[in-house]
């Protein structure tokens, strides 16, 4: 294992420990979860993004109120594709829209009034989530006290999240804050109507492009009762009874292991990690859950049904994708979630990167990596460009911010954050994923890039 | 608006506009002095509207900056952007965070590089809690000119300040100037930088080709005049007038007949150029296109939201086409907005409701009262259009749920024809008796 200093980073050698080339038997991990080098064109977001955008945002029937100047509210309005069957959370953007006077004199009154007004105009909101942005932390509004007062007045939960953007080093702290806040203030405040011996929560599944709508029925067909999905297509009232699950499974192990652990520690509910992407990993997840609940036969039956339906399609796509090489750059877990599934399609991941991975994410990547695999922590735009040119992957799975850079370089791309034509989870979703890779890689457009126009 | 809470306000914060202004300058790297979200969110919005990448640096402020100030981060960021990208300019935008902690960005950036360094730093102050994205565009534009413009020999050119419009719009305005043979300087020009080609072999420059040349911005002090077609972003024109006696013409956006006439006249006034036959013919085609559709469009109720100068110009154009603008809404307060629309109301006997500094919740409530058969606005209007069961014709920023909107122009005579055709086809395609479509 060696660390690498790309050419673009020669002026900022502090980036070197973040970029490693995998050497079996001599494994070191990239340095991670530390402050970004200022001005390096990072792709990272902020703590607010992790809290409001990722974990809190998908809760569908609450008023998602952003306390601060307008930008942060606007930019997170309907942006992430955490779909639901209720439109409140993505259709509306609620903001205290703080102006200069509030920055000078405080935003407390504006926040209090905003909570009351939102509730009056949208009584269908089951709770109010209040997210603090940078300025609120600096001017020191006592959002805890304001939310408490407002809650007494309107009689529904008002939950403050202290997720000012400048806290922490990336989105990651925002996930943690959202988990802890929901655990401390919401979990355990209501009991489920009924319980069964087969109650389970799916944690860290945000229903991106409908992922939860694919994976939840798989477990239900096994005889599991899914008590709650945290937080994809979740109602506010799905969160309080999470402590009564018999088992929790964790899909996004970066953003949501926190709450699984807290529930385990306080209520003794065990949790297991799963990967609900790809045929083998999804099957394994079903088997693990089946084993826990002694529903092994049911699990095998569902797996057999799904494979009968979808395996031949995957085999077809494999023929078209065999021997391709890819670069996966995701927030963190999907980088390693997808390395195995890629191999099911005959694709080798030669390069991975994560925006906010921790040590455990990089361990999971390295367990799956072949010799020579390059792994980058918190890559910046110039590093991404350099590595796309240097290693020439056949396609790149990244996020929207990287999409058009990749296209200009003539490299096929799949949006792994919000998907192209998803959902991508589960057996059925993996067929969509394979199809999107096929569409990207085998589109006729790419041939024109190497056919320049010349005079006859 | 009596409410405290903003519900669906179609406005963004200052750094967004400042970044767009900087992205129209060749060799300029925008650098946001704030938290990481302050660069990531605008980048995301630029990417999904223009379908282009937007490289924006950030000083990555964290807890220590909240306590000790952000000078260390900003200094390091400036040095790193310079050493890795060697840009001509670094365009700084501040944020609510850096402004609240009170960093003196001018001073910090002055000290960051050695005196006389080739990289020029543009230290715009763009606090996110004041104004909107247009305020940010205006502040960045003015700071660019304040920092760069130098008196020299007269250049016989006209400066243009476009505000936040699309690459297609800028190309159309340039086309008109080509026809009129008027030499020009666009002080920020995204027509190439945010509409880039895929080149043979996938070769791309580190920073996009095109954009306003810094040398042209320096030369802007020597122009015949400055025309700002976004009155919310005219302060650079005023600066050039006050400092260098370059006449400022801060006028409506050239959309529709009267406003485009005025635009052409203003160009003529500043440059002495006559109005060529080709422009007269384009104008004639616009009138012809209105004539062609006036039976379809007469009295059609239309509600419009977006940036103030675009909305007020479109209101006038709709009235010129015999339509009935029922509601005009902008989230950015702009002093000419209400007078403009009142003037249209007087001239065309219309009764357009004026909503200024408000949000789409109020816009929707107003539509429920005053009705609309068609809504004009950006992608944020989709849910209202769906709820009301009427079509949405998309213009402005951001439009992410349709492709190509940024490529076309709604400005000038030609662009106005395109906009009218979009509106007419939306009506015809929505619920028009097919029997009547034979004529």
Domains of chain B: 14-147 (3.40.50.1980), 158-196+205-271 (3.40.50.1980), 277-436 (3.40.50.1980)
Q: How far apart are CA A282 and CA A338, in angstroms?
A: 12
- Is the CB of B146 inside 8 Å of chain A's CB atoms? no
Q: How far apart are CA B341 and CA B329, in angstroms?
A: 11
Q: What is the pLDDT of residues B11-43, one digit of tens each?
A: 999 999 999 999 999 999 999 999 999 999 999
Average pLDDT of span B350-360: 98
Residue B439 has what pLDDT?
59
DSSP letter for B33, please: E
Phi, psi of B159, deg, nearest 5? -85, 145
b vs e for A156-186, b when ≥16 Cβ sit within 10 Å of the residue's Cβ? bbbbbbbbbbbbbbbbbbbbbbbbebbbebb
- Interchain proximity B80–A39, CB inside 8 Å: yes
Residue B431 has what pLDDT?
77
Q: Which of A45, A96, A166 sits opposite B61 (nearest CB)?
A: A166
With 90 as the cut, is the pLDDT of residue B231 above it? yes
* C-alpha closest to that of B109 among B62, B61, B63, B70: B70
SS3 B152: coil
Distance (Å) from the C-alpha of residue A216 to the closest C-alpha of chain B? 28
Distance (Å) from the C-alpha of residue A19 to the closest C-alpha of chain B? 17
* Percent of chain A residues topping a pLDDT of 90: 97
Asked if omega into B398 is within 30° of 0 (cis), the reply is: yes
Token pair for B228: 């700002």
* pLDDT confidence bin for B55, thresholds 50/70/90: very high
When computed from its CA atoms, the radius of gyration of chain B, rounded to whole angstroms, is 22
Task: Please indicate whether residue A46 is annotated as part of the active site.
Answer: yes
In chain B, residues 274-333 whose CB comes closer than 8 Å to chain A: none
* C-alpha closest to that of A282 among A304, A257, A255: A304
- Interchain proximity B202–A410, CB inside 8 Å: yes
ipTM of the complex: 0.97
Per the CB < 8 A criterion, the answer to whether A39 and A149 are in contact is no
Average pLDDT of span B371-381: 98
* pLDDT confidence bin for B253, thresholds 50/70/90: very high
Q: Which of A46, A113, A408 sits opposite B37 (nearest CB)?
A: A46
* pLDDT confidence bin for B438, thresholds 50/70/90: low
In chain B, residues 16-55 whose CB comes closer than 8 Å to chain A: 16, 31, 34-45, 47-48, 51-55
SS3 B319: helix
Q: Which of B35, B38, B57 sits opposite A39 (nearest CB)?
A: B57
Q: How far apart are CA B163 and CA B184, in angstroms?
A: 16
Asked if omega into B296 is within 30° of 0 (cis), the reply is: no
Residue of A nearest to B197 (CA): A408
- Interchain proximity B53–A77, CB inside 8 Å: no
Q: Determine the straight-line distance between the first and last CA of chain A, rounded to whole angstroms.
A: 51
Per the CB < 8 A criterion, the answer to whether B351 and B369 are in contact is no
Task: Please indicate whether residue A49 is annotated as part of the active site.
Answer: yes
- Is the CB of A173 inside 8 Å of chain B's CB atoms? no
* Residues sharing a CB contact under 8 Å with residue B213, sequence separation 6 or more, in sequence order: B26
Q: What is the pLDDT of residues A310-369, one digit of tens each?
A: 999 999 999 999 999 999 999 999 999 999 999 999 999 999 999 999 999 999 999 999
- Is the CB of B56 inside 8 Å of chain A's CB atoms? yes
Residue numbers in B near A69 (CB within 8 A): 13, 96, 128-129
Per the CB < 8 A criterion, the answer to whether A61 and A125 are in contact is yes
For residue B89, how many C-alpha atoms fall within 13 Å in the half-sphere facing its CB?
A: 29
The whole model's pTM is what? 0.98
**Ranges of H-type helices in A123-248:** 134-139, 143-154, 172-185, 211-221
Count of A-B CB contacts under 8 Å: 231
Task: Determine whether A268 is exposed, middle or buried from the number of CB atoms within 10 Å of its CB (0-12, 13-18, 19+).
Answer: exposed
With 80 as the cut, is the pLDDT of residue B375 above it? yes
- Interchain proximity A70–B11, CB inside 8 Å: yes
Q: How far apart are CA A18 and CA A353, in angstroms?
A: 10
């Amino acid at each position: 294992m060696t660390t690498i200093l790309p050419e673009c980073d020669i002026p900022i050698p502090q980036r070197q420990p973040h970029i490693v080339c995998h050497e079996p038997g001599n494994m070191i991990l990239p340095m991670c979860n530390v402050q970004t080098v200022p001005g390096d064109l990072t792709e990272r977001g902020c703590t607010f993004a992790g809290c409001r955008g990722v974990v809190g945002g998908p809760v569908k029937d609450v008023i998602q109120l952003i306390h601060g100047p307008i930008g942060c509210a606007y930019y997170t309005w309907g942006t992430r594709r955490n779909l639901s069957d209720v439109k409140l959370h993505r259709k509306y953007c609620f903001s205290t829209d703080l102006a200069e006077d509030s920055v000078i004199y405080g935003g407390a009154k504006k926040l209090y009034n905003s909570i009351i007004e939102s509730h009056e105009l949208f009584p269908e909101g089951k709770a109010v989530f209040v997210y603090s942005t940078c300025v609120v932390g600096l001017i020191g509004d006592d959002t805890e006290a304001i939310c408490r007062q407002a809650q007494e007045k309107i009689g529904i939960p008002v939950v403050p999240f202290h997720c000012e953007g400048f806290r922490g080093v990336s989105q990651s702290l925002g996930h943690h804050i959202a988990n802890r806040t929901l655990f401390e203030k919401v979990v355990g405040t209501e009991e489920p109507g009924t319980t069964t011996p087969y109650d389970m929560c799916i944690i860290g599944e945000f229903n991106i492009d409908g992922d939860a709508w694919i994976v939840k029925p798989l477990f239900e067909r096994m005889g599991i009762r899914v008590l709650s999905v945290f937080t994809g297509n979740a109602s506010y009232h799905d969160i309080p009874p999470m402590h009564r699950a018999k088992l929790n499974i964790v899909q996004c192990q970066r953003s949501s292991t926190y709450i699984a652990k807290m529930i385990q520690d306080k209520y003794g509910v065990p949790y297991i990690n799963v990967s609900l992407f790809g045929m083998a990993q999804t099957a394994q997840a079903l088997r693990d859950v089946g084993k826990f609940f002694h529903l092994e036969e049911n699990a095998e039956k569902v797996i057999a049904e799904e494979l009968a339906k979808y395996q031949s399609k995957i085999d077809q796509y494999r023929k078209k994708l065999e021997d391709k090489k890819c670069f996966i750059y995701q927030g963190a877990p999907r980088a390693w979630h997808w390395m195995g599934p890629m191999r099911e399609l005959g694709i080798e991941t030669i390069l991975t990167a994560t925006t906010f991975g921790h040590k455990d994410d990089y361990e999971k990547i390295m367990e799956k990596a072949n010799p020579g695999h390059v792994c980058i922590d918190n890559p910046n735009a110039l590093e991404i460009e350099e590595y796309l040119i240097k290693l020439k992957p056949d396609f790149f799975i990244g996020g929207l911010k990287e999409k058009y850079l990749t296209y200009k370089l003539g490299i096929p791309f799949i949006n792994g954050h919000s998907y192209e034509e998803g959902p991508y989870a589960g057996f059925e979703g993996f067929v969509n994923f394979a199809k999107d890779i096929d569409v990207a890689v085998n589109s006729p457009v790419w041939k024109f890039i190497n056919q320049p126009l010349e005079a006859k | 608006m009596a409410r405290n809470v903003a519900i669906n306000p179609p406005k963004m914060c200052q750094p967004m506009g400042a970044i767009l202004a900087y992205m129209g300058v060749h060799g300029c790297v925008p650098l946001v002095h704030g938290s990481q979200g302050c660069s990531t969110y605008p980048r995301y919005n630029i990417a999904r509207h223009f379908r282009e990448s937007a490289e924006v640096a950030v000083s990555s402020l964290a807890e220590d900056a909240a306590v000790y100030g952000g000078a260390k981060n900003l200094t390091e960021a400036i040095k790193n952007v310079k050493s890795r990208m060697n840009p001509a300019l670094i365009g700084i935008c501040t944020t609510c965070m850096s402004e609240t902690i009170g960093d003196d960005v001018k001073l910090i950036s002055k000290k960051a590089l050695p005196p006389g360094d080739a990289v020029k730093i543009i230290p715009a102050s763009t606090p996110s809690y004041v104004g909107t994205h247009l305020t940010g565009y205006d502040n960045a534009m003015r700071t660019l000119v304040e920092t760069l413009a130098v008196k020299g020999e007269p250049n016989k050119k006209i400066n243009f300040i476009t505000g936040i419009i699309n690459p297609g719009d800028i190309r159309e305005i340039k086309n008109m100037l080509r026809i009129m043979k008027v030499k020009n300087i666009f002080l920020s020009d995204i027509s190439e930088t945010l509409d880039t080609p895929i080149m043979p072999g996938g070769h791309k420059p580190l920073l996009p080709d095109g954009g306003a040349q810094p040398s042209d911005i320096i030369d802007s002090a020597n122009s015949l005049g400055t025309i700002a077609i976004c009155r919310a972003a005219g302060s650079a024109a005023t600066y050039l007038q006050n400092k260098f006696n370059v006449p400022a013409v801060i006028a409506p956006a050239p959309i529709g007949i009267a406003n485009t006439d005025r635009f052409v006249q203003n160009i003529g006034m500043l440059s002495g150029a006559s109005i060529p036959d080709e422009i007269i013919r384009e104008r004639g085609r616009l009138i012809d296109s209105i004539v062609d559709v006036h039976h379809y469009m007469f009295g059609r109720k239309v509600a419009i939201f977006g940036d103030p100068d675009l909305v007020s110009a479109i209101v006038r154009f709709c009235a010129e086409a015999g339509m009935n603008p029922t509601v005009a809404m902008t989230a950015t307060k702009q002093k000419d907005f209400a007078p403009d629309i009142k003037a249209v109301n007087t001239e065309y006997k219309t009764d357009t409701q004026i909503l200024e500094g408000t949000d789409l919740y109020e816009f929707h409530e107003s539509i429920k009262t005053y009705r609309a058969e068609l809504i004009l606005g950006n992608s944020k209007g989709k849910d209202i259009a769906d709820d009301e069961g009427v079509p949405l014709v998309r213009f402005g920023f951001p439009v992410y749920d349709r492709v190509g909107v940024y490529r076309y122009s709604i400005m000038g005579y030609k662009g106005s024809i395109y906009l009218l055709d979009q509106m007419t086809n939306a009506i015809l395609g929505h619920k028009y008796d097919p029997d009547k479509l034979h004529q």
